[in-house]
Amino acid sequence: MTTSYILQRQAELKEMKRLERQVEQSMMAKAMSDAIERHAADKARVLAKEARIASGEPAPKPVETKPEVVEQKQVAVEITPPAPVVAQTPNAPVFAETPKVSPKPKATSKKTTKKGK
């Protein structure tokens, strides 16, 4: 037996799916129209170029663009060390700095292997 809230949820899911399909269809239609416009513009450019070649006109000179110069600003940054940690409880010890400990040297190998004769 199906309860009313399950039936309501199924109806909501069906409506969501229908709306998603509509969005997909509209996006696909827009993509297709954009592709058709790009194709038409490309075809017009090719036809103009073929007409120019057939008439014997020289190729137009490309427009030279100057590279854009971006100025870099110097920014001064001051780095301050973090403040020491202050204990929250009155009886806890306060450590201003942690002592630096050097790593232990590696132990030498005690086993030796004999070379084959």
Q: Express each pLDDT in 49-59 by its tens digit.
A: 999 999 988 87
User: Residue 11 has what pLDDT?
Assistant: 95
- The better pLDDT of the pair 84, 23 is held by 23
Tell me which residue of 49, 16, 105, 57 sits closest to 8, measured CA to CA: 16
Q: Using the predicted structure, report yes or no on whether residue 1 has a pLDDT greater than 80.
A: no
Torsion sign, CA atoms 39, 44, 45, 50: positive
